[in-house]
């Protein structure tokens, strides 16, 4: 299944096949769980027989010996029930927790493999819902539902068989309550399946809105849109409430109906059973056993209905989870990858490259460029011109629709992804920091680096002093997304991360466009050291960045319209010269590319 055809959820068969596949390595634990359930369920079914023996052969015959034997048998049975239920509960719950642990890891690992195009189309809140709400929904059915399902099914089957053996006539009379019970159960199944599927969707909508609101809270408060957001969340929350109320209404009708039918069944047994006792056809003990076994029939049916609630909810969650797991990444390694030459020169070439997030709406058209090793190239152009898209193709976050992108003469499709990432690194415009320490964040670029190498990287970039001045130096804790640091400080740490990775090719979405002048100077000094001696491609948001570049590529409408250094392009008096004159006159042109270009790409992808 490709990312382009991601379903809202998988099919029931996909979910069950996936779960069965996960259970296969735990076959011994599953067999132990089922075996212990069979043992304690069998012991439970035998208890009314002990009571029947006590009544018919102890009380009726006034035999204290038979009463004692029935009492001992009953005691042994309840000990077996206790031991079997304890083993079953522990085994089932531990197995359930193992499966949940494996499922979370499979989802997380799978998300790591998926291409950027997937995350461009899918809401982060919906993906978090798969990892949290949907996995949590499976907890009840794996921990309690499985045990209840197997036990209730065995109890129901065993009770029916024993009733028929005790008195088929009385069992037949009791069977008159089965048709209304089966009809009600069938109706409940169909209605609840739809209702629980809707509940899963409404929960995902709630999570999506909450995640988006928290992420964009500054924008909400800046535009005083709190009331609008509250109204919108109120509508989403109301739909979630209504979906859950529908499931409550169904349960409030079905379960009392089953309870009433159970009472009716006891009345039938007392009437027909009493007549048979009077006629000498059955014993009092048999009628008493019938009453107990009727509870063994109705209680499992109620339990199975409750389990069906859980199974329906968990089934919807399971189908969604395995629907995501069935998605294959668009960017995949070839079976026989070609190793990059060592040492890598860093020569990048694009030949006849065209690309569109939606193939029908191209963003790049027939691009042919070659960047020699060690050259410092700056990409400039208006919003949506294709600058960021070019950078994403050079890092193989996307594959071109047509044409080839190569590194040192080897097409990127033929290179193993991990090796390519070590050779070509992209530093985004906004420095992103993970939870942990500053040292952890710098080591993200090269986990094998020593503490001395981390500090040497900071010293080489001129940021060691800034980090050392913090309360705990390199071991200072970074809060969520680095919120305690300024944009410039986060960018400096990100640059140190890239420096430690030491890639031959570096791509930067210009790191100084949103910084104050003082911080900008620090970041530019660090970038100068970072770019030295490597092939570098910089997406320029300020034309001052282009003045000292070895080469400037001017993008417009998905094509390279001009190519040369600053002096050459100014001398041609073309597109770049016009942009530069506009910029130097104080009317900075719109050359920022990420937001508009990505918006164009996503709009095209959803068209």
Query: What domains are there in the chain, each with its CATH number?
Result: 3-325 (1.20.1560.10), 348-429+504-606 (3.40.50.300)
Higher pLDDT, 87 or 593: 87
Angle, vertex CA 108, rays to CA 102 and CA 114, nearest 5? 130
Nearest of 552, 549, 556, 560 to residue 369 by alpha carbon: 560
Question: What's the chain's average pLDDT?
Answer: 82
1-10, 47-56, 137-146, 306-315 — which is least confidently predicted? Answer: 1-10
pLDDT at 600: 39
Q: What are phi and psi of 338, to 5 degrees?
A: -100, 125
Q: Provide mean pLDDT across the span 558-567.
A: 92
- Report how far residue 51's alpha carbon sits from residue 207's, in angstroms, rounded to the nearest whole number: 54
Q: Is residue 128 predicted with pLDDT exceeding 80? A: no
C-alpha distances in Å from residue 409, one per residue of 142, 178, 366, 376, 563 = 53, 75, 19, 19, 22
Higher pLDDT, 9 or 320: 320
Q: Provide the token pair at 225.
A: 């849109």
Tens-place pLDDT, residues 52-69: 888 888 888 888 888 999
Q: What are phi and psi of 371, to 5 degrees?
A: -110, 115
123-132, 260-269, 341-350, 370-379 — which is least confidently predicted? Answer: 123-132
Q: What are phi and psi of 223, to 5 degrees?
A: -105, 10
Please give the model's pTM, rounded to 2 decimal places. 0.66
CB 123 within 8 A of CB 201: no
CB 540 within 8 A of CB 512: no
Q: Provide mean pLDDT across the span 282-293.
A: 84
- Report how far residue 205's alpha carbon sits from residue 232's, in angstroms, rounded to the nearest whole number: 11
CB 70 within 8 A of CB 54: yes
Q: Provide mean pLDDT across the span 450-454.
A: 89
pLDDT band at residue 563, thresholds of 50, 70 and 90? very high
CB 369 within 8 A of CB 320: no
pLDDT at 37: 93
pLDDT band at residue 531, thresholds of 50, 70 and 90? confident
Give bridge partners of residue 436 from the DSSP assignment. 478
CB 194 within 8 A of CB 342: no
Nearest of 555, 118, 558 to residue 362 by alpha carbon: 558
- Report how far residue 402's alpha carbon sits from residue 413's, in angstroms, rounded to the nearest whole number: 12
- Report how far residue 154's alpha carbon sits from residue 151's, in angstroms, rounded to the nearest whole number: 5
Tens-place pLDDT, residues 208-251: 888 778 777 777 776 677 888 888 888 888 888 988 888 888 88
CB 526 within 8 A of CB 462: yes
Query: What SS3 string covers 152-165?
Result: HHHHHHHHHHHHHH
52-61, 189-198, 557-566, 582-591: which has the highest mean pLDDT? 557-566
CB 331 within 8 A of CB 417: yes
pLDDT at 606: 33
CB 202 within 8 A of CB 247: no
| DSSP for residue 408 | T
Tens-place pLDDT, residues 404-449: 999 999 999 999 988 898 899 888 777 778 888 889 989 988 888 8
- Report how far residue 49's alpha carbon sits from residue 322's, in angstroms, rounded to the nearest whole number: 46
Containing H/E element for 12? helix 12-23
CB 396 within 8 A of CB 420: yes
- Report how far residue 234's alpha carbon sits from residue 199's, in angstroms, rounded to the nearest whole number: 16
Q: Map residue 355 onto helix, strand or coil.
A: strand
| DSSP for residue 68 | H
């Amino acid at each position: 299944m490709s990312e382009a055809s991601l379903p809202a959820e998988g099919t029931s068969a996909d979910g069950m096949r996936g779960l069965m596949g996960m259970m296969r390595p735990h076959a011994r634990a599953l067999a132990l769980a089922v075996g212990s359930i069979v043992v304690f369920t069998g012991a439970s079914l035998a208890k009314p027989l002990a009571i029947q023996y006590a009544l018919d052969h102890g009380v009726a015959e006034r035999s204290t010996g038979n009463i004692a034997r029935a009492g001992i048998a009953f005691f042994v049975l309840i000990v077996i029930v206790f031991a079997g239920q304890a083993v079953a509960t522990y085994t089932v719950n531990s197995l359930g927790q193992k499966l949940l642990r494996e499922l979370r890891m499979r989802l997380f690992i799978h998300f790591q493999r998926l291409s950027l195009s997937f995350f461009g189309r899918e809401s982060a809140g919906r993906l978090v819902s798969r990892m949290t709400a949907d996995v949590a929904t499976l907890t009840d059915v794996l921990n309690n539902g499985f045990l209840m399902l197997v036990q209730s099914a065995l109890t129901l089957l065993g009770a029916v068989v024993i009733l028929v053996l005790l008195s088929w006539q009385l069992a037949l009379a009791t069977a008159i309550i089965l048709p209304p019970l089966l009809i009600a159960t069938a109706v409940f199944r169909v209605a609840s399946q739809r209702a629980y599927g809707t509940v899963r969707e409404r929960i995902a909508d709630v999570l999506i809105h909450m995640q988006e609101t928290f992420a964009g809270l500054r924008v909400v408060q800046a535009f005083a849109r709190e009331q609008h957001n509250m109204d919108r969340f109120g509508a989403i929350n109301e739909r979630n409430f209504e979906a859950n109320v529908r499931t409550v209404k169904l349960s409030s009708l079905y379960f009392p109906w089953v309870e009433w039918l159970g009472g009716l069944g006891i009345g039938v047994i007392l009437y027909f059973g009493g007549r048979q006792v009077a006629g000498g056809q059955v014993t009092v003990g048999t009628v008493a056993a019938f009453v107990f076994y009727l509870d063994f029939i109705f209680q499992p049916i109620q339990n199975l209905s409750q389990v069906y609630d859980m199974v329906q909810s968990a089934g919807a969650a399971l189908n969604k989870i395995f629907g995501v797991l069935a998605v294959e990444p668009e960017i995949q390694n070839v079976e026989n990858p070609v190793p990059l030459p060592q040492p890598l020169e860093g020569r990048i070439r694009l030949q006849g490259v065209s690309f569109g997030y939606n193939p029908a709406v191209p963003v790049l058209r027939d691009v042919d460029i070659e960047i020699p090793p060690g050259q410092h190239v700056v990409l400039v152009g208006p919003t949506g011109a294709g600058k960021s898209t070019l950078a994403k193709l050079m890092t193989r976050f996307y594959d071109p629709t047509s044409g080839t992108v190569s590194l040192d003469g080897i097409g990127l499709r033929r290179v193993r992804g991990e090796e390519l990432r070590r050779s070509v690194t992209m530093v985004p415009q906004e420095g992103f920091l993970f939870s942990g320490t500053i040292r952890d964040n710098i080591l993200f670029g090269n986990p094998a680096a020593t503490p001395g190498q981390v500090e040497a990287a900071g010293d080489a970039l001129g940021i060691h002093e800034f980090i050392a001045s913090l309360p705990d130096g390199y071991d200072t804790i970074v809060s969520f997304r680095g919120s305690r640091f300024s944009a410039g400080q986060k960018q400096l740490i990100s640059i140190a991360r890239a420096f430690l990775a030491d890639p031959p090719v570096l791509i930067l979405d210009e790191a100084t466009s949103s910084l104050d002048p003082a911080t900008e100077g620090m970041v530019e000094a660090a970038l100068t050291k970072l770019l030295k001696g490597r092939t570098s491609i910089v997406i320029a948001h300020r034309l001052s960045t282009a003045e000292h570049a070895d080469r400037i590529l001017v993008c417009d409408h998905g094509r390279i319209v001009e190519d040369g250094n600053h002096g050459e392009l100014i001398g041609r008096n073309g597109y770049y010269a016009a942009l530069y004159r506009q910029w130097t006159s104080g009317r900075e042109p719109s050359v920022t590319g990420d937001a508009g270009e990505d918006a164009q790409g996503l709009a095209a992808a959803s068209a």
